[in-house]
Amino acid sequence: MARNEKEESIQIGFREALALILPYFRKKIWIQFRSVIWIVLYLTLFQLLVLRVPIKEAGLITLGIVSVIIGLSFFLEGLFLGLMPLGEALGLRLPQKLGIVSIMAFSILLGMGATLAEPAIAILKACGSKVTPWEAPLLYYLLNEGSDTLYLSIATGVGISVLLGMLRFLYGFSLSKVLIPSIFLLLGVSLYAYFDENLKYISGLAWDSGAVTTGPVTVPLVVALGIGISKVSEKNEQSSAYGVVTLASLFPILSVFLVGIYFSMQVPKPMLEGEFFQKEIHSTKGKFLLGGKTKEFETNQKTSSTTPNSLKKIPKGIGNHIFDAFMIALRAILPLSIFLIVVLYLVLKEKIPYPEEVRLGILFSVIGLTIFNFGIMFGLNQLGDQVGWKLPSTFRSIELTDSTKYIQNFNPKAVFTALNEDGKEEKFFYLKERKSYTEIPYREENWDQSKKIYEFTPIHGPIFGKEDNLLGYGIVLIFAFVLGYTATLAEPALSALGNAVEETTVGTFRKSLLIQSVAIGVGFGTLMGILKIILEIPIVWILIPVYLFLLLLNRLSKPEFIEIAWDSAGVTTGPITVPLVIAMGLGIGSQMGTIDGFGILACASAFPILTVLVMGILVENSRKLSLNDSVQKQK
């Protein structure tokens, strides 16, 4: 029976609302805490116990990590309440009310908007200060003055990927029809870039960009849209629900290469540092010429190529950084939300599902992304950079530039002379700090006689034996494997994928088996990525044999295992892993003097595909043997 009177709404006070909300958010924050704490503890303990170096700015880093946990909790909840319902509603209505051309245009715009809203995309801009313009002009340009162009190219690549993914949902064609020609095209472009002076230094950035795009915004939105389209598409098969994440990580690689090829004609070729500064006489401000315009690059010639950004003194005004983080979050979330609402409300003439929840979700997304961006800036990025910067001390001597001391009123009369093992004279003096005396080596070039100040930068390492010892290298590689393995186990998206795979394969491919396969693959990939930076191996010589072998394994695998394997690479590069790994890689690269510190994410994305495909082949062979045994017993 219909009621004529209006239903009464229940009014609750602020305290009652908090009592209902707080337990829910405590649970969400606890989930994110568990996913972050183990990798943070691992990096912290490794630096303290193995590298034997204290963590600088520990209080600020702790604040940053807490901000990452809280921000990610709010951000993911906002996605669940606000953006994902919009995505699924659009997926249901688009095929019913719009033609294929309109769906294609919408898919491209959605992919672009989602990419620009990814938390990890802002990490790339922070990397620009760690590249020297004379060694890699094109890489420097793309990460600095050309960063907006870089972002747009990555977003365009994802947009094209989403378009192809939606076409797969509509028409149900196999992933291999897109995957195989795309891989051959990317490998061909990478090989071409290797023989170009400028392009070869953006190869690592291009392949890492593919990993950065498959984060907590793009994947849920694209999957939600795909699920909606799947429900109204008669040609879609269950297995085609996988594979979209893979496509979203491939085409951004190509788009970055294309942008690089365009700008490579406009930037100067790599040069020596002295050549770069040859026009400067008394100033340290160099001129960076690009496309006829003058770009200024400020640096200290003595330390610019060796001092990482995170080890410089953090500027004052945290409020300004919070405001910047808020503006980044607003520019990321608001345009995407408005676009989805406008298409649903004005184009499709549909009501917004649960409008109160959607508004709350958008608000949570902005708040969460603001806190997360601040935490990345002062937490994970700083920690990863510090560990990466000090990691080579296991096998060689490094300068601890973040521990530089300035001794006032220095008197050279305090200097002593000693003989080393080779009979050569070495000078030193004693510095009293509190109640202890420290032996400090004396170098005349560090003594500023006019100011009576002696500058001393401590030397650390090699910790395990002599310079370039094999044990030190081995420790680094073990560290890399464990880092990749543990970081993967902490990714929430992998657990969700494991549940879906176990259900799809009717228990044939167990969740635990998938998780271990992916984690081992990421471990080996991280190991290879760090080895690539330390030994300066061109990324193309790692990726070409790996991807050719993957295509061979594709021929031996079932279609559902192919799609699962290629998608598993995307879920491993989450919002926690990406900033840590990129910062660590650039830290190692800066310390080793490597021009290109990118490539770890690219390797960490390729090797889990390999391990999952191999495991899928083993699982399928085991299933066939079990069936044969059952048939034999019945006979």
- What does the pLDDT read at residue 189? 95
Q: How confident is the model at residue 212 (pLDDT cuts 50, 70, 90)?
A: confident
More confident call, 19 vs 244:
244
- Cα(341)–Cα(159) distance, rounded to whole angstroms? 18
- For residue 607, what are the contacts with CB-CB under 8 A and spacing of at least 6? 521, 522, 524, 525, 528, 546
pLDDT above 90 coverage of the chain, percent: 14
Out of 206-215, 239-248, 479-488, 611-620, least confident range: 239-248
pLDDT digits (tens, 9 = 90+) for 35-53: 788 888 888 999 999 998 8
What is the reported pLDDT for 611? 92
Domain ranges of the chain: 35-299+322-394+469-622, 405-456
pLDDT at 77: 84
SS3 content of the chain, % helix, strand, coil (to 5): 70, 5, 25
**Three-state DSSP class for 286?**
strand
pLDDT band at 475 (very low <50, low <70, confident <90, very high): very high
* Main-chain dihedrals φ then ψ at residue 212, nearest 5 degrees: -65, -30
Q: In this structure, what token pair is assigned to residue 505?
A: 């394969």
Q: Is 428 strand, coil or helix?
A: strand
Token code pair at residue 344: 């649903």
What element of type H or E holds 425?
strand 425-433
CA 268 to the chain's CA centroid: 28
Question: CB–CB of 365/82 below 8 Å?
Answer: yes
Distance CA 117, CA 83 (A): 11
pLDDT tens profile 311-337:
344 444 577 778 878 887 888 788 888
Helices (DSSP H) in 172-217: which residue ranges?
Answer: 176-194, 203-213
Tokens of 454: 């002696």
**316: region left, alpha or beta (phi > 0 left; psi from -120 to 50 alpha):** beta
Q: pLDDT class for 116, splitting at 50, 70, 90?
A: confident
Q: What is the pLDDT of residue 227?
A: 65
Under a CB-based contact definition with an 8 Å cutoff, are residues 232 and 96 in contact? yes
Q: What is the pLDDT of the chain when averaged over all its residues?
A: 79
* Average pLDDT, integer, range 55-68: 87
pLDDT grade for 440, boundaries at 50, 70 and 90: confident
Q: Which amino acid is at 436?
A: S
Most confident of 113-122, 160-169, 478-487: 478-487
pLDDT of residue 324: 79
Place of tokens 């891989």: 183
The residue-averaged pLDDT of 76-95 equals: 79
Q: Looking at the predicted structure, is the pLDDT value of residue 439 above 50?
A: yes
Residue 228 contacts residue 88 (beta carbons within 8 Å): yes
Average pLDDT of the residues in 264-275: 82
Grouping H, G, I as helix, E, B as strand and the rest as coil, residue 438 is: strand
Who wins on pLDDT, 434 or 54? Answer: 54
Using CA atoms, how far residue 498 sits from 135, 200, 612, in Å, is 43, 37, 12
* Phi-psi region at 387: left, alpha or beta (left = phi > 0; alpha = psi -120 to 50): alpha
- pLDDT at residue 239, as a whole number: 42
Band of pLDDT at residue 464, cut at 50, 70 and 90: confident
> Alpha-carbon torsion 266, 270, 275, 278, what sign?
positive
- Let me know: does 420 contact 426? Beta carbons within 8 Å: yes
**Range of lowest pLDDT (190-194, 526-530, 547-551, 567-571):** 567-571
Percent of the chain with pLDDT over 70: 81
Q: Side chain identity at 438, as an amino acid letter?
A: T
* pLDDT for residue 235 is more than 60: no
pLDDT at residue 478 is higher than 90: yes
Q: How is the beta sheet containing 447-448 ordered, strand by strand?
A: 405-408, 453-456, 447-448
Instruction: Give the containing element (helix H, strand E) for 297.
Output: strand 293-298
The predicted pLDDT at position 81 comes to 84
Whole-number Å distance between alpha carbons of 85 and 360 = 12
| Segment 619-623 mean pLDDT | 80
- Per-residue pLDDT, averaged over 180-209, amounts to 91
| pLDDT recorded at residue 258 | 94
Name the nearest CA neighbour of 127 among 142, 115, 114. Answer: 142
Query: Using omega within 30 degrees of 0 as the cis cutoff, is the peptide bond preceding 462 cis?
Result: yes
- Out of 67-71, 256-260, 374-378, 551-555, which region has the weakest mean confidence (pLDDT)? 374-378
Q: Where are the alpha helices (DSSP H) in 265-309?
A: 273-276
What local confidence, expressed as pLDDT, does residue 550 receive? Answer: 92
Q: Could you tell me the pTM of the whole model? A: 0.81
So what's the pLDDT on residue 233? 58
At residue 165, the pLDDT reads: 79
- Of 112, 117, 96, 110, nearest in space to 170 by CA: 96
E strand or H helix that includes residue 399: strand 398-399
Which tokens in the block code for residue 291? 């496309």
DSSP string, 218-251: HHHHHHHHHHHHHHH-SS--GGGGSSHHHHHHHH
For residue 504, the model assigns a pLDDT of 67
- Please give the average per-residue pLDDT across 444-454, as a whole number: 87
Average pLDDT over residues 420-424: 82
Across 430-457, average pLDDT:
86
